[in-house]
């Protein structure tokens, strides 16, 4: 019943109520089966069954790619804990968010962001599980630290899932323009950051596009996008926001929009670079085409590949730091920039106030004729 849109539930209740009038036995069962058909049709209309099936298939694939391995190995245990936690989060948090903010928004961007966010988190889970363990299983304090880092990462992932669900919900406070601006800035940041460091932040990684230069234009662009992107997104989102009429309320709402735009500009970027980077590191020893792309013109021996894979895996934790640090940077820069957005959208001296409706143009020809046509 819950899979059904609210407006269709009455119809299912109607079928159920009428079943009391139908002679018992197979005729009543047939009548109720018709009711189930109504449920299926309504759910398919809303696309919910399709989305749940898609999620189930993606989760099954993630489990297939993540689960194998000896349970005696620490990396296998961590991978399984990751898998179970992530699937529970992805399946359970929507129910929680729906209680407060409603179901998913109908906008294409919101749906794209939800599907993309879910796909990215599942892909990150697979990629992280497929990384080559950097050394022997940790023991003692190292083991405790590893578990602490793991739990911290899962909390961060939960935060990402909740954020994606919250900003794309029907009753979200985030304006559509803010969502679009922040997401766009985040995609640009993620792609450029990945181009700069496809194998993490390790100095051992050979960058195909930046041979031997620390001040390459792409590196400069990455820094500009990391620090300037949230500011630009926040100012733009704040200026475009048209919310409550009360000037005090709208200022507060603009600060929120600026902060969210900043978080989106860095959070989306962090997710993209973490998924692509971790995936690249995990795929490197298995995919020759990727090694040719990462190390153009070099013919690496298996030992060299393994060595570089280990080095890259060691720097895989950097992506965890990126996932934590980027949204904090974005939030701070976004809120900091809100002052500029509020100043620039202050009403002009001598009044101002909210924009009024557009003047209605005169009807073509005679207004009377137009009115008469409307009345008909």
Residues 150, 335: Cα–Cα separation, whole Å: 30
Among 4, 8, 55, 322, binds another protein (CB under 8 A): 8
Q: In 168-224, which residue ranges form alpha helices assigned H by DSSP? A: 176-196, 217-223
Binding segment (CB under 8 A) for another protein, from list 26-34, 92-100, 115-123, 346-354: 26-34
305 binds another protein (CB under 8 A): no
Among 2, 3, 5, 11, binds another protein (CB under 8 A): 11
Q: What is the DSSP string of 20-78?
A: TTSPTTHHHHHHHHHHHHHHHHHHHHHTHHHHHHHHHHHHHHHHHHHS-S-TTSHHHHH
Q: By C-beta, is 40 or 155 nearer to another protein?
A: 40
Among 1, 14, 91, 96, binds another protein (CB under 8 A): 14
Among 3, 5, 26, 33, binds another protein (CB under 8 A): 33
21 binds another protein (CB under 8 A): yes
37 binds another protein (CB under 8 A): yes
Q: Which two tokens stand for residue 18?
A: 């009428």
Please name the residue that has the structure tokens 């073509």. Answer: 364
Among 1, 5, 13, 60, binds another protein (CB under 8 A): 13
Centroid of chain to Cα 39: 30
Number of residues that bind another protein (CB under 8 A): 22
CB of 190 to another protein, least distance (A): 42
Q: Round to the nearest angstrom and report the end-to-end CA distance of the chain.
A: 44
Residues 241, 238: Cα–Cα separation, whole Å: 5
20 binds another protein (CB under 8 A): yes
Query: What would the x/- binding string for another protein be over residues 45 to 84, using CB under 8 A?
Result: ----------------------------------------
Please name the residue that has the structure tokens 């990396």. Answer: 75
240 binds another protein (CB under 8 A): no
Written in H, E and C, the secondary structure of 279-297 is HHHHHCCCCHHHHHHHCCC
What does the binding site for another protein look like in residue numbers (CB under 8 A)? 8, 10-11, 13-18, 20-22, 30-35, 37-38, 41-42
């Amino acid at each position: 019943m819950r899979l059904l849109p609210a407006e269709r539930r009455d119809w299912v209740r109607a079928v159920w109520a009428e079943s009391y009038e139908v002679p018992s036995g197979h005729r009543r069962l047939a009548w109720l089966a018709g009711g189930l058909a109504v449920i299926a049709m309504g759910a398919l209309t809303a696309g919910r069954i399709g989305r749940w099936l898609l999620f189930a298939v993606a989760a099954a694939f993630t489990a297939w790619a993540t689960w194998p391995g000896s349970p005696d190995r620490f990396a296998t245990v961590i991978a399984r804990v990751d898998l179970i936690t992530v699937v529970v989060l992805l399946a359970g948090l929507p129910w929680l968010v729906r209680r407060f903010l409603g179901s998913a928004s109908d906008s294409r961007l919101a749906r794209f962001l939800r599907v993309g966010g879910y796909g990215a988190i599942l892909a990150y889970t697979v990629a992280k599980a497929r990384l080559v363990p950097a050394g022997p299983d940790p023991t003692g304090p190292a083991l405790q630290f590893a578990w602490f880092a793991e739990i911290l990462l899962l909390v961060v992932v939960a935060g990402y899932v909740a954020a994606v669900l919250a900003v794309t919900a029907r009753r979200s406070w985030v304006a559509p323009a803010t969502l679009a601006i922040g997401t766009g800035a985040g995609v640009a940041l993620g792609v450029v950051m990945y181009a700069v460091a496809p194998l993490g932040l390790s100095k051992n990684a050979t960058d195909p596009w930046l041979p031997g230069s620390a001040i390459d234009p792409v590196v400069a662009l990455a820094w500009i996008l990391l620090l300037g992107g949230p500011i630009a997104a926040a100012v733009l989102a704040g200026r475009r926001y048209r919310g409550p009429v009360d000037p005090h309320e709208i200022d507060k709402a603009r600060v929120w929009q600026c902060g969210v735009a900043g978080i989106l500009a860095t959070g989306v970027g962090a997710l993209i670079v973490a998924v692509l980077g971790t995936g690249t590191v995990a795929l490197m020893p298995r995919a020759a085409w990727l090694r040719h792309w990462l190390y153009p013109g070099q013919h690496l021996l298996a030992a060299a590949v393994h060595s570089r894979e280990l080095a890259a895996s060691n720097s895989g934790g950097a992506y965890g730091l990126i996932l934590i640090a980027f949204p904090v940077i974005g939030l701070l820069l976004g809120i900091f920039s809100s002052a500029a957005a509020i100043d620039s959208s202050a009403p002009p001296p001598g009044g101002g106030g909210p924009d009024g409706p557009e003047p209605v143009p005169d009807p073509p020809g005679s207004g009377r004729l137009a009115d008469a046509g409307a009345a008909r």
